[in-house]
């Protein structure tokens, strides 16, 4: 399998994982911001921080289903971490 075929397999695997997460209303590290919005909707608040390496965002979700607030950290258009506060 050459590099192009491996990339296609990786894209297909990501797509399948993202579709399953959206269906289950979940978010995972590496997910794109578009997929986060499809899964959880628009965030309640977006906090932005400018760092030496670029723009970082913290998306805040008030979610009764988890009994608290969830924070999704975004870097380069993808989820870098998820934090739940109860």
Q: What letter would DSSP give residue 53?
A: T
Give the pLDDT band (50/70/90) at residue 79: very high
CB 49 within 8 A of CB 56: yes
Q: Give Cα 72 to chain centroid, integer Å.
A: 7
Where does the chain have alpha helices with state H? 3-23, 33-40
Q: Hey, what domains does the chain have and what are their CATH numbers? A: 3-85 (3.30.1450.10)
CA dist., res. 61 & res. 52, Å (int): 26
What is residue 67's predicted lDDT score, i.e. its pLDDT?
Answer: 74
Average pLDDT, integer, range 63-70? 80
In tens, the pLDDT along 2-46 reads: 999 999 999 999 999 999 999 999 999 999 999 999 999 999 999
CA dist., res. 67 & res. 86, Å (int): 6
């Amino acid at each position: 399998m050459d590099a192009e075929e491996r990339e296609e397999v990786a894209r297909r695997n990501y797509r399948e994982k993202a579709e399953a997460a959206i269906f289950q209303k979940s978010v995972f590290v590496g997910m794109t911001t578009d997929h986060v919005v499809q899964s959880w909707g628009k965030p309640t608040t977006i906090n932005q921080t400018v760092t030496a390496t670029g723009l970082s965002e913290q998306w805040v979700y008030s979610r009764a289903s988890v009994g608290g607030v969830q924070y999704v950290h975004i870097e380069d258009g993808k989820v870098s971490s998820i934090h739940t506060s109860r």
